[in-house]
């Protein structure tokens, strides 16, 4: 491979109309965030490795691009925004009145195997909400996620909403030996019923717990799923999680938006990272989510500011796949011919807001 003529795998170059599409999507989403009183933050492209390990967890540490600087410090290129924004809120904004609402947009880098919907360099736009009432903040971020998709002209999106508390309550009595909880979680995440049955059959579990875990992959739908979940559990943690989901669903329903919401009690990806709700937004025809987020109350405390926190981010590349390759909203896709224009005329036309293209 010639490094002077090719770009590294999993990266991309955007030119012309592709850039205009990216900026149009970005402007639309940032405008929605601003409309909900979120202040934009531009965090650094790199930080100390420990910042991201605290945020993403040890499980994702091997995906971080890291290096040793000339002073011997271990730094990393940002693999996500949440840790950086949480650190900024905990340090630079520690004295600000709560809640603190922040938005961001930019590129992140992770060492991934490049494939459809997954690259090593990709763009995220999102929000983080710190220190507000948890129940109200959860609803707020869901409404913002919905509005952003609607503003982009994507009417048929679906948000799968779950809670790590439901699964956490189910397994709290299970001895967490030999990565058992991780294996259970992995099988539930891909809804592998056969593998799940085999694992549960080999465990010494009480019948009610075994039956509840077997049902988890099928607990997805509208409000009745919450009622079905109540019949399967007696854990206080699981019941509180269901109560919270019921409250959220009721508010979304009253606002006439319940058609976009699916309660998915088997949605537990990011179990170690999140502390409450978690959600993913999907669009028909695309095999992966276009947005994801949830509650992560423990993260700000890692940086010395123990406040509740919730947020989400959109994947700009995936949204662009949904929107297609047509001209960006508000752009002029016509091919202009060059103008036999003097520089004096060009400056005059530009001052009038006109577009010019001078012949070489």
- Same domain for 171 and 115? no
- As a whole number, the mean pLDDT across the chain is 89
- Same domain for 95 and 177? no
Please give the pLDDT value at position 330: 54
- Same domain for 138 and 67? yes
- Same domain for 69 and 199? no
Phi then psi for 163, rounded to 5 degrees?
-150, 130
- Cα separation, 284 vs 229, whole angstroms: 27
- Cα separation, 203 vs 161, whole angstroms: 29
- Domains: count for the chain: 2
**Per-residue DSSP letters for 161-225?**
EEEHHHHHHHHTTS---TTHHHHHHHHHHTT-HHHHHHHHHTS---HHHHHHHHHGGG-EESTHH
pTM of the model: 0.91
Question: Of 84-88, 204-208, 268-272, 306-310, where does mean pLDDT reach its minimum?
Answer: 268-272
- Same domain for 97 and 153? yes
- Same domain for 29 and 128? yes
Report the CATH number at residue 314.
Answer: 3.30.930.10
Angle between helices 17-35 and 316-323 (to 10 degrees): 110
> Does residue 2 lie in a domain region?
no
> Does residue 344 lie in a domain region?
no
Question: Of 3-7, 131-135, 152-156, 311-315, where does mean pLDDT reach its minimum?
Answer: 3-7
First and final CA of the chain: distance in angstroms?
Answer: 35
- Cα separation, 339 vs 323, whole angstroms: 33
How does pLDDT run across 244-277, given as a tens digit for each residue?
Answer: 999 999 999 999 999 999 999 988 876 567 889 9
DSSP one-letter code for 131: S
Question: Of 25-34, 54-63, 285-294, where does mean pLDDT reach its minimum?
Answer: 54-63
Name the band, by pLDDT with cuts 50, 70 and 90, for residue 337. Answer: low
- Cα separation, 305 vs 86, whole angstroms: 9
Structure tokens that stand for 160 in this block: 């799968």
> Does residue 346 lie in a domain region?
no
How does pLDDT run across 134-162, given as a tens digit for each residue?
Answer: 999 999 999 999 999 999 999 999 999 99
How far lies 359's CA from each of 119, 337, 340, 342, 346, in Å?
Answer: 39, 8, 6, 10, 11
- Cα separation, 310 vs 167, whole angstroms: 19
Residue 323 domain boundaries: 7-157+283-329
Q: Which residues contact 25 (CB under 8 A, 6 or more apart)?
A: 125, 152, 316, 319, 320, 323
pLDDT at 219 over 70: yes
- Same domain for 242 and 206? yes
Please give the pLDDT value at position 265: 93
Please give the pLDDT value at position 279: 96
- Same domain for 108 and 176? no
């Amino acid at each position: 491979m010639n490094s002077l003529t090719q770009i590294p795998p999993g990266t991309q170059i955007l030119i012309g109309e592709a850039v205009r599409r990216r900026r149009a999507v970005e402007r639309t989403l940032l405008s929605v965030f601003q409309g909900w009183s979120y202040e934009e933050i531009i965090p650094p492209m790199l930080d100390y490795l420990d910042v991201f390990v605290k945020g993403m967890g040890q499980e994702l540490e091997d995906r971080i691009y890291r290096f040793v600087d000339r002073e011997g410090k271990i730094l990393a290129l940002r693999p996500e925004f949440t840790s950086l924004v949480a650190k900024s809120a905990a340090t630079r904004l520690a004295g600000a009145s709560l809640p603190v609402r922040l938005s961001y947009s930019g590129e992140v880098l992770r060492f991934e195997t490049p494939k459809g919907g997954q690259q090593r360099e990709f763009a995220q736009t999102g929000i983080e909400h710190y220190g507000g009432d948890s129940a109200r903040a959860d609803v707020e971020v869901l409404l913002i996620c919905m509005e952003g998709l609607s503003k982009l002209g994507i009417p048929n999106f679906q948000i799968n909403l779950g809670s790590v508390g439901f699964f956490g309550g189910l397994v709290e009595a299970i001895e967490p030996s030999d990565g058992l909880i991780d294996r259970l979680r992995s099988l539930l995440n891909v809804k592998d019923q056969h593998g799940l049955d085999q694992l549960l059959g080999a465990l010494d579990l009480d019948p009610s717990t075994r039956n509840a875990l077997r049902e988890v992959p099928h607990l997805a739908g509208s409000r009745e799923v919450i009622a079905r979940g109540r019949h399967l559990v007696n854990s206080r943690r699981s019941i509180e999680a269901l109560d919270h989901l019921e409250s959220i669903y009721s508010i979304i329903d009253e606002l006439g938006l319940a058609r976009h919401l699916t309660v998915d009690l088997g949605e537990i990806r990011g179990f170690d990272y999140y502390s409450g709700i978690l959600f993913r937004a999907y669009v028909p025809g695309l095999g992966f989510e276009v947005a994801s987020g949830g509650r992560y109350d423990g993260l700000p405390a890692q940086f010395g500011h123990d406040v509740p926190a919730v947020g989400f981010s959109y994947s700009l590349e995936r949204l662009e796949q949904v929107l297609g390759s047509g001209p960006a909203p508000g752009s002029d896709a016509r091919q202009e011919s060059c103008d036999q224009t003097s520089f004096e005329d060009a400056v005059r036309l530009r001052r009038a807001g006109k577009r010019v293209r001078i012949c070489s």
